[in-house]
Every structure is written in C-alpha cells, then in structure tokens.
Amino acid sequence: MNNTTFAVEARQLSREYVSTRRSHLVGKKTTTVIKALDRVDFEIQEGELFGLLGPNGAGKTTTVKILCTLLEPTSGHAFVKGYDVVKDAAQVRKIVNMVAGGERMLYYRLTGRENLQYFAELYDVPKKDVQTRVGRLLELVGLADRADDEVEKYSKGMRQRLQIARGLINDPEILFLDEPTLGLDVNIAKDIRKFIRDKIVREEGKTVLLTTHYMYEAEEMCDRIGFLNKGKLVAIGRQEELKRKVPSGFSIELLVTRLSDEALSGLSHLKSVKNVITTDYEGESEGEKIDRLVISVDNDKAAPEVLDCMSSKHCRVVSVNLRGPTLEDLFMYYTEEA
Amino acid sequence: MFFRVVLAEMKKNVKQHFFTVRILFWTLALPLGNGLYLYFFYLPFAATSVNLEFYASNFTLDLAGFTLIGQLLYSFFTMMLIAGNTFVREREQGTLEAVLLSPANRIAVILGGALAGAFHYVWLLIGVVFSWIAFINVGVVINDFLALFASILLSYLSLVALGMCFEAFFFHSRRGTMYATMLQEPIMFLSGLAFPIQSMPRALLPFSYLLPLTFGLISVRLTLLGGASMFDVAFPLTILATMVIVFSVLATWLIGYAEHKAKVKATLTQF
C-alpha cells in the first residue's frame, strides 16, 4: 500500500499481449507481441468522474481490467485507494466494482432480485442489509416493479440498469464503467448518463472511471478526460484546458446573401481558413436567398478577417456564429497527432 | 464468508438448472430409466458372480451389481467433471468477470457449483439402486448402513476435491474440457470400473491407487453388494478421507496459481 491521496493512480503502466500462432497444425510457431498499454501515467481524484477516451483497441478496457484486478500489468504499477492492484488484489476487490457495456455479467435465468442477492452474498454484504440494499438499488435503477421477473425477459436497457445496480451492490468507493451505454437507444442512454452523473457521483460522492468512444457522453459527463491512442496516454486534463491546447477545431458559421464564386475563392485564399463548406439554407432575407457557410479556421482570431473578405466581395452577412472545438475535434486532433 | 458463498453458489446453480417444472420432472424420472438401461446393458454377464479380494478379505459379489456400480460411480465421476467446471460455464455465459471481480473465495465458488450437482448425484444413486431392487433382482446385501453412507459420502467428497484440482486447468486454459475428456478412458480402465483391479497388470496398479474412484468403487461395492461392515472398509475409507484433504489443499494452491497465470497470460476472461 502507498500513502497516496488519489483514488486511482497509474505509474508507467504497461501491458503486452503475446499471441502465438502456427501456420498449420504442425507448423512453426510465430509469436506476435501487441503493446496494449505503453507506460501510462495518470491519477484520479476522489469523487471525480474521469473519462478515458480512445478509438477501438486504444487500451481502455485493458486499463480498466488491470485496475479491477482482472489482469496483471506487464510492468509498472497501479494503485486503487493506495492498494497495489497486484499485491493487494483482495483489498482492491472489496472497494471497487465494474460495469461493462453489452449484455454480460448477469444470470438470465435468475430474476433481477435474485441476481442482486447472489452478488450481495459474494461481496459479504451484512445479512441484515441485503434485502434493504437490493430493494433500494432496484428502486434506484427503476426496476422495482419488474424485480421478480427473469432477466431473460428484460429489455436491453433494463439489463443495463440492472448491471449498474449490480455494480453498486457492494457500495464501491470506485466504480469502473466500461462503455456503459453501448448499444442502448438515445433515451435510455441519456437516463443512464444522468443517473451516473447526478446520483452516483454528485449525490453518493463515488469516484468513477468511464471509458467510452461516444464523445458527447464524455463531454456531458466527465470532470477530466484522458485520451488513449495505441496504448499511449496522449493527453489528459479538463476539457477547457485541452481545447486551449488545440490549434485548430474552430469554425465560423455564416448565413449570407449574394454569395458569389469570387467570394468563395477569396475566402479559400485567406491564410487562416482551412476549409469552406457551403450548404443550402431554407430561408430568405429581404427577398434574397440565404446560403450557409461553415468555415474551418486556425483560431478564434480569424473572424474579422473572414468578415472583411465577405464584405469586400459584396456579400451581405445575415448571421455569424463562432464555434470552438468539440471533444470530437480534440479526439481527432490528439489521436491523429499521435 | 466461505460457507455463505458456497450456499449462494449452490442456490444459484440449482435455480438456474430447475427453472421449469418439466426439467425437475425429467431429472427425477430419468435415473429410474437409467438404472434399467444399465441393467440390460450388463445382463449377458449376470449369470455369474465375481470374487473381490481386498485387504485379506474375499467377497463374492453379484456380477451385474459389480459392473452396475462401476458404471454408476463413473457416471458420477464424469458428472463431477462437468458440474465442477464452474468457470467454463461462467465464461460461456459472460458472468466470469463479475464473479472474479468479487472478493469471494474461488474455492467456495467452485465447491458451491460442484455441490449443487450433488442433488443430481444423490437422486441418480437412489433412483438407480431403487430400480434395481424394485424391478430386477440385483443382489443387494447391506449389513452396515453407516458404512454404506460413509463410503458414498467419502467417494463423493474425494471426487469433488479431485474435480476442484481439474478446475485449475479450466481456469488457466480454454482447453480444460479437452484435457478432462482425454482423461476419461484411462480413468475408466485404471479405476476397475468394469473388472476387479487385481486382474490388471501389476505394473499399472500403483496408478490405480492414485485415483479416488478406485477406492470409492471398492468401498461402495463391498458395502452395497457384499454386506461389508465399517471395519471391512476402514482402509479404503481412510485412503478416501486422506485424498479429500490432499486434493482440497492441492486444489487451493492450484486455483490460486492458475488465476495468477491466467491474469498474466490474459486468458482469464477470454472465450
């Protein structure tokens, strides 16, 4: 155990997967080493909702599995509440839980209530508290009225909500959510996000590590974000900090009338303009047809230059909207840069 | 906490298995038919008896009963391998991660899964023996019910303990089921399932005595068919009790080692 104040801490965490294959039944063995995590360093504060983003195969699930004690790192160390995930695995298991996306981790022939009761026994929840806790969790995830139906009769969203209840059965201090809204429809995913953010983090004060590749999900929920790409942590910080570091990703949306080829050509020759997209717009201003332009620019200082260009080409600007980089822009920037 | 996990695991497995009345009915009804099937399978050999020499005693047993018990305990042995492979089932239904995430003792989890299969076993045994006595004239001679009970219980526990050792392979490798299948034929031969082990080449006898099934067969046959007393079967029962302890300790170590290796090799939760 180390004397850290962090809820989760990863130091030079690396994980390699070795796969051996034979060309045919008695052929020569070939070994491939895949580096899933490469000297990753990060820490998560208590009560924080930390998002780990990255494309498929970036190492998100590997990180979560190491932190949950389901996998051992090839090198480096990870600590959960100061407990080493390898040496103190038994202690770590008592204070964490994990919820994965997809339809796993539940017994389909048992009812929702029986599932939670079973896991309560595995976590040694005090006997007198089992019924109360199970009831409260079923209430919390909105499954109280279907608690005694077999899970195989549940919808996908209900199963996912039950999974979240399972993840909370031991009242964990740290909850790992690995793509928790994977494959869910918009409304259910939204409810689950709200539930995690408002109930689990804000009300109950739990620390959450969320992995996702839905950018809006991370944008909406996370206090801090880390970008993983090909096993490396390429950026980490608050969204605003990360956005400030990105030199591109700003765009100007203009609604204009009297748009000409000459104006478009003038725009594309401006130094700060990277790209111009023209789209039709349903509407008129003073009897003239409106066009919509989305202009990608280097930075937020480019707007006056763009407006000058438009007025010099006799276009009439009806509306201007400056948009900063989204998390998706950051994701593209950091993952492509790496 | 250990026994709490064992009970939770048993309850879960029984509930998962008996989830319809029809399944419950067939589980109860099939052993009767199974007993009849086994009897007719061995009927051509039923004309004679067999001498079982053991521990300076010579018992003359009903040959049909002798082979039937062999088949019965062997069925149980394979059932134990299947019932014991808790982690394979959990892996297949996508729940292994959830179980291993918990601080629950792994041995307790396996033991719970294996003991849940005890219901099937006990009923199979009762159903088959009942069908022999009720419908066909198998020479059942029981003089000491306590000795019979101890023989069945210790055979059962020793096979459970051995099954837990096998579980380490299921944990570590996805080929565990294949290894278990590969072991079936040698175990059938070496345990004296269909013939007295004294008929076997002497060089193979030491291997026979490593198997709990060998001693289980001796003690159950003697107490169920030969009317043996506790004193007569004291030796095989002592060996079985020792095997229960040795295999349990070995299983605890093997499971811990296999889990560690599986985490290193990342085979723990793969399908």
Residues A2-35: tens digit of each pLDDT: 666 789 999 999 999 888 887 777 778 888 888 9
CATH 3.40.50.300 residue spans of chain A: 8-244
Looking at chain A, the whole-number percentage of residues with pLDDT higher than 90 is 38
Site of tokens 């031991």: A170
A122 touches chain B (CB under 8 A): yes
- pTM of the full structure: 0.79
Q: Encode pLDDT of A30-62 as tens digits.
A: 888 889 899 999 999 999 999 999 888 889 999
Question: Could you tell me if residue B14 is inside a domain?
Answer: no
What separation in angstroms does the CA of B86 have from each of A99, B14, B77, B115?
22, 13, 15, 11
Domain count, chain B: 1
Q: Quick check: B254 and B106 in contact, CB under 8 A?
A: no
Q: Identity (one letter) of the amino acid at A194?
A: K
Q: Encode pLDDT of A219-272 as tens digits.
A: 888 989 999 988 999 889 998 888 777 766 678 888 998 888 888 888 888 888
Contact B103 A93 (CB under 8 A): yes
Q: Kind and range of the H or E element at A101? A: none
Q: Which residues of A touch B265 (CB under 8 A)?
A: 18
Q: Which residues of B touch A97 (CB under 8 A)?
A: 101
Question: Could you tell me if residue B62 is inside a domain?
Answer: yes
Q: Which residues of A touch B95 (CB under 8 A)?
A: 104-107
Better-predicted residue by pLDDT, A60 or B37? A60
Pairing, β A29-44 against β B57-62: unpaired
Question: Can you tell me the distance from the alpha carbon of A9 to that of A282, in angstroms, rounded to the nearest whole number?
Answer: 52
A106 min Cα distance to partner chain B (Å):
6
Question: Can you tell me the distance from the alpha carbon of A152 to that of A106, in angstroms, rounded to the nearest whole number?
Answer: 10
- A-facing residues of B in 13-32 (CB < 8 A) are 15-16, 19
Contact A100 B97 (CB under 8 A): yes
Tokens for A77?
């160390």
Mean pLDDT over B32-41 rounds to: 67
Question: Can you tell me the distance from the alpha carbon of B75 to that of A300, in angstroms, rounded to the nearest whole number?
Answer: 77
Q: Quick check: A198 and A306 in contact, CB under 8 A?
A: no
Q: Identity (one letter) of the amino acid at A294?
A: V
Interface confidence (ipTM) of the complex:
0.78
Find residue B189's DSSP bridge partners. none
What's A8-244's CATH class? alpha beta
Q: Quick check: B214 and B52 in contact, CB under 8 A?
A: no
Q: Quick check: B84 and B106 in contact, CB under 8 A?
A: no
Question: Could you tell me if residue B111 is inside a domain?
Answer: no
Q: Which residues have CB under 8 Å from B133's CB, separation 6+?
A: B140
Question: Could you tell me if residue B174 is inside a domain?
Answer: yes
Place B271 in a pLDDT band, splitting at 50, 70 and 90: very low
Question: Could you tell me if residue B260 is inside a domain?
Answer: yes
Most confident of B130-144, B215-229, B235-249: B235-249
CATH classification number, A248-324, choose in 2.60.120.20, 3.30.70.120, 1.50.10.10, 3.40.50.300:
3.30.70.120
- B-facing residues of A in 128-167 (CB < 8 A) are 150, 166
* Domain coverage including residue B92: 38-102+137-265
Residue A307, number of CB atoms within 10 A of its CB: 15
Place A121 in a pLDDT band, splitting at 50, 70 and 90: very high
Question: Could you tell me if residue B83 is inside a domain?
Answer: yes
Place B80 in a pLDDT band, splitting at 50, 70 and 90: low
Farthest CA pair distance, chain B? 58
Contact B94 A110 (CB under 8 A): no
What separation in angstroms does the CA of B123 have from each of A80, B41, B80, B111, B151?
48, 21, 14, 19, 16
Helix (H), strand (E) counts: chain B: 12, 2
Mean pLDDT over A115-131 rounds to: 93
B146 min Cα distance to partner chain A (Å):
35
Q: Which residues of B touch A65 (CB under 8 A)?
A: 269
- B-facing residues of A in 46-75 (CB < 8 A) are 65, 68-72
